[in-house]
Amino acid sequence: MYSNDIGRRFEAWTAQLFKDHGYNVTERRFRIREERRGQVVNDSEIDLIIEESLLPGLFPTRYAVECKYRTPDEGVVSRKEIADFGLKLRLPGSPTREGFVVTNTGYVEQAQAAVRQLKKDFKVHIRLYSREDLERLDYQRLNLWQKRNAKKGKRPSLEEQIQNTRI
The reported pTM is 0.85
Q: What is the pLDDT of residues 64-90, one digit of tens each?
A: 999 999 988 899 999 999 999 999 999
43 has pLDDT over 80: no
Long-range contacts of 27-33 (CB under 8 A, 24+ apart): 30/64, 30/95, 32/88, 32/91, 32/93, 32/94, 33/93
- What's 128's domain CATH number? 3.40.1350.10
Written as one string, the DSSP assignment of 59-119 is SPEEEEEEEE---TTT-SB-HHHHHHHHHHHHSTT-S-SEEEEEESS-B-TTHHHHHHHHH
Strands 98-103 and 39-52: unpaired
The SS3 of residue 129 is strand
Domain that holds residue 40: 4-163
* Domains identified in the chain, total number: 1
Under 8 Å between Cβ of 138 and 161: yes
Q: What is the pLDDT of residues 103-125, one digit of tens each?
A: 999 999 999 999 999 999 999 99
Q: Among residues of the chain, what percentage have pLDDT more than 90?
A: 56
Report which secondary-structure segment, H or E, holds 138. helix 131-149
